[in-house]
Structures are given as structure tokens and as C-alpha cells.
A and B are shown apart, each in its own frame.
Chain A
Amino acid sequence: MSEALNEKNKDLKALVKREYKEGFITDIESDTFEPGLNEDVIRRISARKNEPEFMLEYRLKAFRRWQKMPEPDWAHIDYPKIDFQDIAYFSEPKKKPKLDSLDDVDPKLLETYEKLGIPLEEQKMLANVAVDAVFDSVSVRTTFRETLSKAGVIFMPISEALQEHPELVKQYLGTVVPPQDNYYAALNAAVFSDGSFVYIPKGVRCPMELSTYFRINEMNTGQFERTLIIADEGAYVSYLEGCTAPQRDENQLHAAVVELIAHKDAEIKYSTVQNWYPGDENGKGGIYNFVTKRGVCKGERAKISWTQVETGSAITWKYPSVVLQGDHSVGEFYSVALTHNKQQADTGTKMIHMGKNTSSTIISKGISAGHGQNAYRGLVKVTKGADNARNFSQCDSLLLGDRCGAHTFPYMEVENPSANLEHEATTSKISEDQLFYLQQRGLSEEASVSMIVNGFCKEVFRELPMEFAVEAQKLLDVSLEGAVG
């Protein structure tokens, strides 16, 4: 390659260097279990949360299952073995917050969320978003509870739902992602400490966006949260999750499970803006993000859409999926995944068509920079009885520089001949022509790259709720920010 182009690539490399602004540590006294995992630890977690008996049984069964399962070994990601005895499975701030009043919340916690741009005082919040803030293993605050309960919406930490609505939790927990589903789902079922629970009753359109904000603070602590969202017949909810963690040299494990259930005519929109600490330039530290997310469209005309913008984590392994059980049900997956430095992302979706006349859409945008490796792995499965299933998949990759990679693995399993599946894939680079064109119009190199990248992601961003689309754009900008010139 010519020297001029090499120079250009160097510039691009400098450009994608970033600082992780959420990398601070909150100095707060916490009560953390000593590292290690055995039945006793699980009993202690359950006892600490004063859980009903069925929950303890559920956990123990999952744990025994997990012990017999082999740790998965994935083709496109590469990391040192995790020592599960070296992780603490429970941590909570010492000063236990009462959830109804902010006065009891440790000011340091409030400050933490303020710094992250998520004020927990309702008057300061985005007027139309209710937030559940999860700090390490526990939920510290859920806002707008009253407004929501007037509409009949249940939005609370799952630990509390187990106290207040045990029958609902019991009815649905593990029905979409059973403990034996995979290694990390089993581990999560055994040790999960908190997460959000949402129930939207029949015919109710949730009056505001619901959102959970996850923060890992404690060192060597794994975060295993569990989210369960049920939209009853004809209900609608839009739910958002955001995640960050301090900058630490050790890797931290995040193994969450999210289950969505959409009954007849119900719609669930689930959006994620994930910005876990990605590790430094040399790949030191960062979060291992192994997540199982799945939704089931149980009834006719149910609809589930996953939208995700992922810029963080050292390793991301996740495939938000939709099981299209009901006739005429709809599944959607919109994803932007950015990897740079030594980040690795193996992400994609599974659309399982079972009902008749079901349709799914997959739009995946992968951006790789530095040594980042981005893999899209998608499965579209059409079972025997799924007459007239339709799928459209589009996977686009954008490369910044020439040491990163993009890989696309679309799998299709079709057992019904009436299926109509379409797949498109492109790989492109930001061209020098595009950069010069925008710079010639007066935009800095950084702004030009950001504009091109945002344009590339547009089809996904427009699926996000307004405020979060702006957030996601900013996040991408920050991720691409660096020493230019």
C-alpha cells in the first residue's frame, strides 16, 4: 500500500482510540460474599433475599445441572479460562436502601448514577422514563412506581416480585430460557441476585418507557441479573437497559438472562445500550458479557423486537432470539455492534418460526476498528408447521483500518417449503473519498468518521426511542473519539 494510504490508516487508528468515561469506581462500603461457589453459597443468596422455597429449589436444581455441563468453547472468540471459584456471587451496598424514599439511599450511590447521567430523583429525570437502578447485585431504586401501579403495571426488582407476586414469577420464570438451556443460563439460574420484573396486564399500553440501568462496581464480582417481562394480551411495553462498569484490570463476568413473553396481540420492544468497560488498548481487563436473551411470541399477532447498540465489553457473546409460536407473530432484531482494540463480539440472533404466517426481520450492523473482531451469527429456523414463514436478513459490516475483522455466519434450517427467506450481506470500508468529501465541507476528521458511522447505523438507530437514539449516537461518538491531528 502507498504511504499516503498508510498514513490515513494510522490516523484512523488514532481516531478510534478512546477513553472510557464511565470507568470510575464508587468507594462504597459493601457486603460481599467471599469468592467461591457451592450449594451453601446458593442457600445464603436465597436466604439473604428471603426467597420462597420454590426459588431455592429452582436454584439448587440449576446448580446441580450446571456442575455437569461442559464449559462452551466458541469458534470465534478467544479468552483465558474463567475460574468460577474466584468470583464472588453476591455483593450489595452496606447501607441498605429503602426503595420508596431517596433519603435512605447512600449519597455516594446517588452521585454515581448522577455521574453516569442517570439522576434518580424523579423531578430531574426524563419525564417519560421509569428507571430501575441495579448496583452490583441489588436494585437500589425504582422510580415512578406509583404512576405505573395506577396503570396496573408491575415494575420492580425481581427480588421484590418474589415477595409480592411469587405466583406470577413462578408461572413464568424459566419458561423461555430453562436452566438447562446453556452453561451460562444454568449458572445464572443458580446464582442470580437481582434484575427487573415487568408485568403489563391485559390491554394496557404501558404509559412510559421502562428502563433498567446496570452497574457493576465491586471487584471480582460477577453480575448475574435476571429480567422477566410479560406482556399480557393486547399489552404494549417498551423497555430499555443500559450498562456500565468501572475500569479495572481484571476481567469481570456478566452472565444475564432475559426472558420475554408476549401473549396474543401484545408487543414488547426491548432496547439495549450496552457500554460495559471494554478493556484497555492491549486487551487488559474488561467485562465478559455472556448473555442469554430470548422472547416468545406466545399468541397470535404477538410482536417482539430486540434493538441493541453494543459498544462495550471485552467479549460479547449474545444472541437475542424470538420464538414465533403464535400465528401471524412478528420478530425483529436490529443491532449495532462496535468492536475496537482487542474487543471481540460474537453476536446475532435466532428467529424460530413455528406458527403460520410468521415473519421476522434481521438488520445487523457490525463496526470493527483496531484489532476488533466482529462476528454475526444468525439462525433462521422454519419448522414443519410454519407455513408461509418470511424472513429478511441484512448484515452489513464496516471496517475502520485493516487489522480488524468482520465475519458473517448466516444459518438457515428450513423444514417447510413455503418459506421465503432473503439474506443480504455487505462489507465496506470508510473510503478516503467519503472522508475528504465531508472534511471539504468543513467537518473535522473525527466528525466526518462519526457522521459516516452514524449513517451506516441509521436503520438501527431509528428503532430506538428518541432520547436513546441520541444517547446511542453519542456513545458511538465517544467510542470513536481519540487523539486526532
Chain B
Amino acid sequence: MLVIKNLHVSVFDTPILKGLDLEVKAGEVHAIMGPNGSGKSTLSNVIAGRDGYEVTEGSIEYMGNDLTELEADERACEGIFLAFQYPVEIPGVSNMAMLKAAINSKRKYHGEDEISAGDFLKLIREKADLVEMKQEFLKRSVNEGFSGGEKKRNEILQMAMLEPKLALLDETDSGLDIDALKVVSQGVNALRSPDRAMVLVTHYQRLLDYIVPDFVHVLANGRIVKSGDKSLALELEEKGYGWIDGLQKAG
């Protein structure tokens, strides 16, 4: 589904990603871990098509096509979803209104009719239940005045509504209390399916107890420096990143 080869990305002329390789197949869940500032959010942003992130070398292929050709909104319509590390507030725009516009925009892109008011309501109620979000949040302005945890939950609600093919979750577990972590994980697990891929960025192996990944990667200095299965996360938790950095220098 996603094939990244030798990716170099600069932000404001500063190289951040320096030769990153990653392949994600449909049905897989990948976890990306790595020190602060190593480029994890940069990777998510560049896949989602944010302006200002310049690909200087290498390629990103999505469903067999060159992804860099598409604008951010086109990528979203093609099924890429990014749950933001820092969700953004949009004053005066209700969660419902935004989601309805988003769904309809996606439908229009695929030549489908707009969703009916009834179907939309049914869908959003069902998904709000999934992430245990109170109905009143749906009428509130997008993320405005939401607590940190509520914002993260809202990201998962949006993901559930938009049913992406490729979901990128950037530190969705940060700032969640234990109960919220369970709820969010449930939400994510409910969306796991053979034709959907997920990339989780996280600092904590705890999340991976709830959402068990197929692969774990370590991103350091702008590259994937080590990949493994779930046990790698446990090892990292125990030893930190230092030993990998050393390994990188030696190799």
C-alpha cells in the first residue's frame, strides 16, 4: 500500500529525513518509535502532504501511484488519514458540520452522492459511541476548549467516520489517562481490517499492549535504524535508544 524509498525531506532547507525506507502492506499495523526530534511527525506530515515539507530525494508510492503528485486534500480523499499529534481548534465550526463537509467532499471526489442527513446522524451516533464520546461534543466547535485527551478522542472519532485506507496516528496515546487509552485503543482495533493499514507513532510500549503491531521500527536521525516485531518495543522500553545509536555508529 505504502512504499517509501530513500526518502529525504527538508523543512525550511534543513534536512530532517535522510534516506528513510518503509513498506506498509494492507492489513498491517506498524509502530514507529524514536527519540524526540528524530522526524516522526515530519514523516506523518510529508505522507499527508503538508506544505513546506520538501522531498529532495527518494519516492513515496501509495497504492501504486506517486503520492507527491497529490495535494493534501486529494490524499485525504484517496484514503490517507492523519490523527494529529496536536489537533487544531476551528472556532465556530461544529464537529458535525466539519465531518459532514469532509465526508461529502470525499464522496464528491469519488463521484458519489452526498450523504443524507439521516444516514449521517446515524453514522456519527454509532461512531461517537465507539469512542465513548458524549453527543454534546458533536455540536461543539472543532477541538475548541477540548481537553488534551478529548482532542485525541476526537481524532479517533474522525478517523472512524472517514474510514481511511491508511491511518497515521501521531502520538494519539500521549496525554491519555488509562481509561481513555483503552477506549481509544478499542476504537482503533475496531477499525483494523485486512484492507486497512495503520502506522502508529508512539513513545510508549504501553499502547502496544492494547494495539498489537505487526512491526516496530526505530526512527533516529531521519532514518529507520532498526525494525523488528513487538519484542523490539519491549527491548527499547528496557534499554532506551542509546544502544541503537551505538549500533548505528558501529555499522
By a beta-carbon cutoff of 8 Å, the part of chain A in contact with chain B is: 2, 4-5, 7-8, 431-434, 436-445, 447-448, 451-452, 454-459, 485
Do A8 and B76 touch across chains, with their CB atoms under 8 A apart?
no
Please, which residue of chain A has its CB at the minimum distance from the CB of B50?
Answer: A436
Chain A nearest Cβ from B116, distance in angstroms: 18
* A319 CA / B106 CA spacing, docked (Å): 43
- Chain B 122-162 interface 0/1 with A at a Cβ cutoff of 8 Å (1 = within): 00000000000000000001000000000000000010001
Q: Verify A438–B50 contact, CB threshold 8 A.
A: no
Q: Are B76 and A454 in contact (CB under 8 A)?
A: no
A443:B51 contact, CB within 8 angstroms: no
Interface-centre pick from B51, B109, B158 (highest chain A CB count, 10 A): B51
Are the C-beta atoms of B102 and A442 separated by less than 8 Å? yes
- Interface 0/1 of B94-130, CB less than 8 Å to A: 0001110111011001000000000000000000000
Task: With CB as the reference atom, state the residue of chain A lying closest to B158.
Answer: A441
Instruction: Contacts A7-B51, A451-B93 given; indicate if A441 touches B88 (C-beta within 8 A).
Output: no
Q: How far is the CB of A448 from chain B (nearest CB, A)?
A: 8
B79 CB to nearest chain A CB (Å): 10
Would you call A456 and B91 a contact (CB within 8 A)? yes
Interfacial chain A residues near B90, Cβ < 8 Å: 434, 437-438, 451-452, 455
Q: B215 in the interface, Cβ–Cβ < 8 Å? A: no
Q: What is the CB-to-nearest-CB distance from A261 to chain B, in angstroms, rounded to a whole number?
A: 34
Of B49, B50, B101, which contacts A443 at CB under 8 A? B101
Count residues of B near A (Cβ-Cβ below 8 Å).
33
Residue B77 is within 8 A (CB to CB) of chain A in the complex: yes
Does B61 reach chain A (CB closer than 8 Å)? no
A5–B51 CA distance with the chains assembled, in angstroms: 9
Which chain A residues border B48 with CB–CB below 8 Å? 436, 440
Within 8 A of A (CB), among B198-244: none
Residues on A with C-beta less than 8 A from B162 are 441-442
Q: Can you list 11 A-B contacts with CB-CB less than 8 angstroms, sorted by A residue number? A: A5-B52, A8-B51, A431-B88, A433-B88, A436-B48, A437-B84, A440-B73, A441-B99, A442-B77, A451-B98, A452-B90
Contacts of B106 in A (CB 8 A): 442
Minimum CB–CB distance for B169 against chain A, Å? 13
Interface: B60 (CB within 8 A): no
Are B76's CB and A442's CB within 8 A?
Answer: yes
10 new A-B contacts, CB < 8 A, other than A444-B105, A452-B93, are A437-B87, A437-B90, A440-B73, A441-B105, A442-B102, A442-B109, A443-B73, A443-B101, A451-B101, A455-B90
From known contacts A4-B51, A436-B50, A447-B105, infer whether A441 and B76 are also in contact, taking CB-CB under 8 Å: yes
The distance from the CB of A336 to the nearest CB of chain B, in whole angstroms, is 12
Does B92 lie within 8 Å of A459, measured CB to CB? yes
A106 to chain B, nearest CB (A): 39
In the bound complex, CA of A443 to CA of B76 (Å): 8
Q: Which residues of B contact A (CB under 8 A)?
A: 12, 48-52, 71-73, 76-77, 81-82, 84, 87-93, 97-99, 101-103, 105-106, 109, 141, 158, 162
Q: How far is the CB of A234 from chain B (nearest CB, A)?
A: 35
Q: Are B101 and A440 in contact (CB under 8 A)?
A: no
In this complex, what residue of B is CB-closest to A431? B88
Give chain A residues whose Cβ lies under 8 Å from the Cβ of B109: 442
A397 to chain B minimum Cβ distance, whole angstroms, is 14
**A455/B92 in contact, CB under 8 A:** yes
Contact A439 to B73, CB < 8 A, known contacts A2-B12, A447-B105:
yes
Closest beta carbon of chain A to B234's beta carbon, Å: 32
- Docked-complex contact B92 and A447, CB < 8 angstroms: no
**Residue in A444, A452, A458 whose CB lies within 8 Å of B73:** A444
Asked whether, in the complex, the Cβ of A432 is within 8 Å of the Cβ of B51, the reply is yes
Closest B residue by C-beta to A441: B102
Question: Can you name the residue of chain A whose Cβ is closest to the Cβ of B141?
Answer: A455
Please give me the residue from chain A that is nearest to B92 by CB atom. A455
Which of A443, A444, A455, A485 is within 8 Å of B91, CB to CB? A455
Leading 5 A-B pairs by shortest Cβ distance: A455-B92, A4-B52, A455-B93, A458-B92, A442-B76
What are the residues of chain A within 8 A of B141 when measuring CB–CB?
455
The chain B residue sitting closest to A432, CB to CB, is B51
> Residue among B89, B91, B97 with the most chain A CB within 10 A?
B91
CA distance A431 to B90 in the complex (A): 10
- Interchain CB contact (< 8 A) of A440 among B12, B82, B92: B82
**Residue of B73, B76, B101, B162 with highest tally of chain A CB at under 10 A:** B73
The interface residues of chain A lying within 8 Å CB-to-CB of B87 are 437
Task: Say yes or no: B88 contacts A437, CB within 8 Å.
Answer: yes
C-alpha spacing A280/B162, complex, angstroms: 41
Query: How far in angstroms is the closest Cβ of chain A from B57?
Result: 18
Query: In angstroms, how far is the closest chain A Cβ from the Cβ of B215?
Result: 24
Q: Given the known A-B contacts A454-B93, A456-B92, are A442 and B52 also in contact in the complex, defined by CB atoms under 8 Å? A: no
Say whether A439 contacts B71, CB under 8 Å.
Answer: yes
Interchain CB contact under 8 A, B88 and A434: yes
Residue of B nearest to A461 (CB): B92
With CB as the reference atom, state the residue of chain A lying closest to B76: A442
Q: What residues of A have a CB within 8 angstroms of the CB of B91 in the complex?
A: 455-456
B125–chain A nearest beta-carbon distance, Å = 19
B49 neighbours in A (Cβ, 8 Å): 439-440
Q: Is the CB of A442 within 8 A of B105?
A: yes
Contacts of B93 in A (CB 8 A): 451-452, 454-455, 458
A468 to B25, CA, bound (A): 50
The reply to whether A4 and B12 form a contact with Cβ atoms under 8 Å apart is yes
Most central of B52, B72, B105, B106 by chain A CB within 10 Å: B72
Distance between Cα atoms of A5 and B50 in the complex (Å): 12
Of the candidates B71, B92, B98, the one whose C-beta lies within 8 Å of that of A438 is: B98
Cα–Cα, bound, A149→B241 (Å): 83
Q: Which residues of A contact B103 (CB under 8 A)?
A: 442
Find the B residue at minimum CB distance from A459: B92
User: Which residue of chain A has its CB nearest to the CB of B106?
Assistant: A442
Distance of B187 from chain A, by nearest CB (Å): 17
B-side contacts of A442, CB under 8 Å = 73, 76-77, 102-103, 105-106, 109, 162
